[in-house]
């Protein structure tokens, strides 16, 4: 491995890293919101909305991100919606992630027993007070392991962004290899940057998991 | 004594089968009514009808002059006035003892957190649990959890307290500590409707005993009459099932 090549390539990777992180976390944020909303409607079996989000979850869980991105990236302009590749990437990741997050949150909601709601009702609490103070925190605690796993999964899925010509880490590596044939250096940096992105997330995930679960389950 | 609760001709059906059949029961302020009866006779259902967890087919439940089932007003405001403690405690597992106790007073009654905490600590002290105020439910024994559940209900200052087999899930050595709390509440003049299988406790705590069988009130009376001179064969048989002579 040639250190000079590494130094040479570094700025391009750093730029791609920032793009990947930005789109990755934007997508994950969308996934979070979408996941919570769908899980809410599914769990409480809200008519129409639960069917709508149920359909959404099935479609996006059962198709590859690559296909979803193509649909968004090439499909939207066809129906007259012009967007950038970046927006498409974040939305695509958000939609895929939302379907996974929804399942995670929903299994948490379903695991909170009805009698918890009843005991809160018996104290005179309203539906909203119960959802935000009792059901959601309990469900969230139960869902945390699934959610952390989803976040890491989604960050890794960003490697598909290169397919819609986003200059993410994967794109940069392929591009540099194609141009200069320094395969070892290019792949080495690719791995390093993915690890730099994912290890802190993984560590933070473990900490959050332990902190949140401590209340209900102990160390 | 004033009448606080009036159950009038209440009929409750599941799948068209009456599990409560024209039940009439009144409870006076400060009175402790203990309900006993065989498993499946409708005791829990009756308590659940009182705070409108169950819709009823016929009749009504009246709390202090106001019909609360069927309920025309806001259910949460009615339930605020009725305390209920369940067999399985149902503490909130993600909240400490203190947080469990102040949640409803702060959110529902809009009491200041500091004040609610002060009140909670006083109550915890009375049931011997002030040392556990920062514990999570998982760190408590069954008996401790149930005592917390009782004082959590008391935090709302309910006009009437409903207790449904609150010792049924406990190990025998923990039953006493929970029932002692209830006995003290009775001495303070709390109005309570209690469902239990603990006959000695029932006799000690009750002002009036009620025997339900097959969804009907079969017999009621003072504890002494009820246990010494049961009038019906069904009650006699039921009481006999608790002795080993
Ligand atoms: N949700 C329900 N759907 C249908 N039937 C029910 C339901 N809940 C209770 N029942 C029936 O209603 C009857 C009364 O039940 P309930 O739970 O009130 O009895 P219980 O006296 O409290 O019994 P236990 O002493 O075992 O607690 C029973 O026959 C039961 O099977
Ligand atoms: Mg019962």
Q: Which residue has the CA at smallest separation from atom 6 of ligand 1?
A: B14
* A130: chain B residues, CB-CB within 8 Å: none
Non-local CB neighbours of B24 within 8 Å, separated by 6+ positions: B7, B8, B9, B10, B217
CATH class of the B3-91+161-240 domain in this structure? alpha beta
Q: Is the peptide bond before A141 cis (omega within 30 degrees of 0)?
A: no
- The complex scores an ipTM of 0.94
Q: Is the peptide bond before B70 cis (omega within 30 degrees of 0)?
A: yes
Ligand 1 contact, B45 CB (< 6 A): yes
pLDDT digits (tens, 9 = 90+) for A111-131: 999 999 999 999 999 999 999
Least CB–CB distance from B90: residue in A119, A125, A141: A119
**Can you give the pLDDT of all 245 residues of chain B as single tens digits?**
589 999 999 999 999 999 999 999 999 999 999 999 999 999 999 999 999 999 999 999 999 999 998 998 899 999 999 999 999 999 999 999 999 999 999 999 999 999 999 999 999 999 999 999 999 999 999 999 999 999 999 999 999 999 999 999 999 999 999 999 999 999 999 999 999 999 999 999 999 999 999 999 999 999 999 999 999 999 999 999 988 76
* B139: chain A residues, CB-CB within 8 Å: 218
Q: Which residue of A has its CA nearest to B138?
A: A216
* A114: chain B residues, CB-CB within 8 Å: none
Least CB–CB distance from A125: residue in B84, B91, B104: B104
Other Cβ atoms within 10 Å of B209 Cβ, number: 24
| Residue written as token pair 């139960």 | A142
Least CB–CB distance from B94: residue in A123, A129, A137: A137
Chain A and chain B share a number of CB contacts under 8 A equal to 76
Ligand found nearest the CA of B38:
1
Q: Which domains does chain A have, with CATH numbers?
A: 3-217 (1.10.3720.10)
Ligand found nearest the CA of B41:
1
Each domain of chain B, given as residue ranges in start order, spans 3-91+161-240
What's the mean per-residue pLDDT of chain A?
Answer: 92
Q: Is B4 helix (H, G, I), strand (E, B) or coil?
A: strand
Q: Which residue has the CA at smallest separation from atom 14 of ligand 1?
A: B42
């Amino acid at each position: 491995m040639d250190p000079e090549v590494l130094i040479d390539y570094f700025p391009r990777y750093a730029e791609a890293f920032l793009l990947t992180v930005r789109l990755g976390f934007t997508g994950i944020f969308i996934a979070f919101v979408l996941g919570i909303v769908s899980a809410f409607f599914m769990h409480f079996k809200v008519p129409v909305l639960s069917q709508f989000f149920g359909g959404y979850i099935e479609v996006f869980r059962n198709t590859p991100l690559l296909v979803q991105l193509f649909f968004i990236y090439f499909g939207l302009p066809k129906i007259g919606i012009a967007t950038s590749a970046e927006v498409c990437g974040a939305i695509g990741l958000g939609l895929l992630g939302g379907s996974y997050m929804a399942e995670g949150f929903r299994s948490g909601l379903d695991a909170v027993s009805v009698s918890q709601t009843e005991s809160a009702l018996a104290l005179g609490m309203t539906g909203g007070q119960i959802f935000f103070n009792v059901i959601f925190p309990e469900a969230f605690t139960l869902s945390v392991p699934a959610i952390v796993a989803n976040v890491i999964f989604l960050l890794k899925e960003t490697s598909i962004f290169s397919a819609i010509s986003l200059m993410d880490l994967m794109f940069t590596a392929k591009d540099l290899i194609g141009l200069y044939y320094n395969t070892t250096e290019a792949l080495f940096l690719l791995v390093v940057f993915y690890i730099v992105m994912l290890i802190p997330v993984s560590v933070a995930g473990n900490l959050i998991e332990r902190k949140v679960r401590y209340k209900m389950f102990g160390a | 004594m004033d009448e606080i609760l009036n159950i009038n001709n209440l009929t409750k059906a599941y799948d068209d089968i009456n599990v409560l059949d024209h039940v009439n029961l009144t409870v006076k302020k400060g009175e402790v009514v203990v309900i006993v009866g065989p498993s499946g006779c409708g005791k829990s259902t009756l308590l659940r009808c009182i705070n409108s967890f169950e819709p009823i087919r016929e009749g009504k439940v009246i709390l202090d002059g106001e019909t609360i089932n069927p309920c025309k007003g806001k259910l949460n405001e009615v339930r605020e006035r009725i305390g209920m403690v369940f067999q399985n405690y149902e503490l909130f597992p993600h909240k400490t003892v203190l947080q469990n106790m102040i949640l409803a007073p702060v959110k529902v009654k809009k009491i200041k957190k500091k004040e609610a905490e002060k009140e909670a600590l006083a109550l915890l002290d009375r049931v011997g649990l002030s040392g556990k105020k920062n514990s999570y439910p998982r760190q408590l024994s069954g008996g401790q959890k149930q005592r917390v559940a009782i004082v959590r209900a008391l935090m709302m200052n309910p006009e009437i307290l409903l207790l449904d087999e609150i010792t049924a899930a406990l190990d025998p050595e923990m039953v006493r500590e929970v029932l002692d709390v209830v006995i003290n509440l009775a001495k303070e003049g709390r109005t309570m409707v209690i469902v239990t299988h603990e006959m000695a406790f029932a006799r000690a705590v009750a002002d009036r005993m009620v025997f339900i069988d097959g969804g009907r009130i079969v017999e009621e009376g003072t504890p002494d009459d009820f246990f010494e001179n049961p009038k019906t064969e069904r009650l006699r048989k039921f009481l006999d099932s608790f002795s080993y002579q």
